[in-house]
Amino acid sequence: MGQLILMRHGESLWNKKNIFTGWVDVPLSKKGVKEAVDGGIEIQNIPIDIIFVSSLIRAQMTAFLAMLNHSSGKVPILQHPNEGKLDDWSKINNKHTLDDTIPVYIAWQLNERMYGDLQGLNKAETAEKFGKEQVHIWRRSFDIPPPNGESLKMNAERTIPFFEKEILKYLQDGKNIFISAHGNSLRSIVMYLDKLSSEEVLKLEIATGKPIRYEYSKGNFKKV
């Protein structure tokens, strides 16, 4: 039986300022750092074999901060497959040291929705400019994207296939997986795991820095 842990990154500096972020690579706020550490304490006694993070720094910071108090004491190490010297020159040449690490894989497919023309805009000011109803449609409809951005449906179309191809196989082998990502990419994964409809997923809220856990056995996911 494998376990899956999902965690949305802690509050970012643009979350704090109420700004549309999307793919803009903004770090955590002080509150976000605390949320990441506190979330890690909740999972500190669960063995973790592999970590997946998005390519955005707020998700990566969250994963590493969450692991600071992990009972295993293992060191999370970023992996750089097919990245030339980053891959070739980062080999660990001691088996004991290698056994004391947890591989961390970066995947852009786990990134947040790309918010297009809204990125960098204050959410309240955007609602005043375009109207609350229009902004709500851009933010919460399943298949209507913001201008030059992604809808939740488009996000799911890259996130779910990556999960099925690159992550599910480890759970099938009984590994425990930790994913640190974003509200919408994780919403897409939970939609897949819980078999939610396109209407049901719109009501799903993913809190920052709060672990969501599943057990995987014989092709089935059970939330714990």
Residues 35, 112, 150, 182: which is the catalytic one? 112
42 is an active site residue: no
Q: Catalytic one among 9, 35, 70, 182? A: 9
Residue with tokens 């990245």: 83
Q: Is 112 among the residues known to form the active site?
A: yes
Catalytic residues: 9, 112
